[in-house]
Amino acid sequence: MTNFDHSISRDGSNDPLVPVPVSNEIIQAAVADSFILSNARRVTMGAKTNRMPVLSALPMVYHVSGDTGLKQTTSQDWENVELVAEELAAIIPVPEAYISDAQVPIWDEVRPRLAEGIANAVDAACLFGVNAPNTFGLDAYHVAMAAGSTIVKGAGSTKMWQNVAKLGELSAKDGYNINGFAAAPGFSWELIGEADGHARPIFDSLGQALYGIPYKEVMNGGFDTTEALLLGGDWSKAIVGVRQDITFKVFTEGVISDDSGNVVLNLMQQDTVAIRVVFRYAWATANPINRVNPTKASRSPFTVMQATTANS
């Protein structure tokens, strides 16, 4: 009997002799950093609490009446801005067998993502007050809202470039100059579509500058797009106190318990390793008096462009 169709071939997708290769490359998005930690004024804290003096009253100077007129007295005063450090932290436990069998260095993959998680939490808290400790100062968004330093996108049929210019005007009328913008993801593409009366793009580049002022889209998930599209500010008045910079520590012994004290994981007994990240920081804003707008209640170092009328 003649056979022409016999051969050794693959048995579908589960061939015992031809294993499927597994790539050791993990496809993932780029790690996003923190707008606040990159742009705010950074202060090193030597203790949990720190105080910074901020100018609260300006001296006045008066004209003297005639050659022998009496000169009046004046004063100057300061108030404290208090920084109270609070902790951000997380633990990731990984079984030792998993680490041994993994085809990539686990900790090299985990550390950047934990750092990104801190960036997300910091920006959400300091820009919008999301999950912020009650010891923190008011976030940038709500500082602007409280002072009325806000516009709604497209109000009065205005274009985006006019909205951006209005933010600068609001800031100048409060005695501040915007030195940076925090933008919602995708904001650049809204700008690209805008043209002047001669059909020329108002902004012809992505992620560079608005009227010469740097801006950056916040890509770590910390920007609340339900509240705002753009936050402009004098970010030297945004203060981040750092008590302990981002640190990582790996544990091979110890227990992890829940908030009731029940042991959830015993590292030694269950052959598990855990990595812990810790970051201790404080947040406050300064609103020093100036001669353009001496009224604190209506003065803000930050301005906000909202997509719609405020949700909060």
Range among 49-58, 103-112, 164-173, 209-218 rated most confident = 164-173
**What is the pLDDT confidence band of residue 180, given thresholds at 50, 70 and 90?**
very high
Domain count, the chain: 1
Q: What's residue 168's pLDDT? A: 94
The pLDDT tens digits for 67-112 are 899 999 888 888 889 999 999 999 999 999 988 888 788 888 889 9
DSSP state of 309: S
* Dist CA 225 CA 173 (whole Å): 26
Q: What's residue 228's pLDDT? A: 95
Residue pair 171/178 in contact by the 8 Å Cβ criterion: yes
Number of Cα atoms under 13 Å in the Cβ half of residue 19: 3
* Dist CA 305 CA 221 (whole Å): 18
Question: Of all helices (H) and strands (E), which one includes residue 232?
Answer: strand 230-233
Q: Is 151 among the domain residues?
A: yes
One-letter amino acid of 97: A
Q: What's residue 104's pLDDT? A: 82
* Dist CA 98 CA 138 (whole Å): 43
Q: Is 73 among the domain residues?
A: no
**What is the pLDDT confidence band of residue 224, given thresholds at 50, 70 and 90?**
very high
Q: Is 92 among the domain residues?
A: yes
Q: What's residue 199's pLDDT? A: 61
Q: Is 52 among the domain residues?
A: yes
Helix extents (H) in 61-138? 96-101, 106-128
Query: Is the pLDDT assigned to residue 123 strictly greater than 50?
Result: yes
Cα separations in angstroms, 97 against 102, 106, 108, 248: 9, 12, 17, 21
Q: Is 265 among the domain residues?
A: yes
How is residue 64 written in tokens? 């003297």
* Dist CA 71 CA 62 (whole Å): 8
Residue pair 218/302 in contact by the 8 Å Cβ criterion: no
**Coil, strand or helix at 54:** strand
CA quadruple 214, 220, 222, 227: dihedral sign: positive
* Dist CA 220 CA 194 (whole Å): 26
Q: Is 26 among the domain residues?
A: no
Q: Is 72 among the domain residues?
A: no
* Dist CA 252 CA 250 (whole Å): 7
CATH of the domain at 171: 3.30.2400.10
The pLDDT tens digits for 248-305 are 999 999 999 999 999 999 999 999 999 999 999 999 999 999 999 999 999 999 999 9
How would you class 121 by CB atoms within 10 Å of its CB: exposed for 0-12, middle for 13-18, buried for 19 or more? buried
DSSP class per residue in 125-181: HHHH-TT--TTSPPPHHHHHHHHT-EEETTGGG--HHHHHHHHHHHHHHTT----EE
Q: What is the domain range of residue 142? A: 35-62+78-306
Phi, psi of 152 (to 5 degrees): -105, 130
* Interval 117-146 mean pLDDT: 96
Q: What's residue 307's pLDDT? A: 81
Q: What's residue 108's pLDDT? A: 87
Query: Is the pLDDT assigned to residue 149 strictly greater than 90?
Result: yes
pTM of the model: 0.85
2 Ramachandran zone, left/alpha/beta (phi>0; psi -120 to 50):
beta
Q: What's residue 311's pLDDT? A: 52
Q: Is 134 among the domain residues?
A: yes
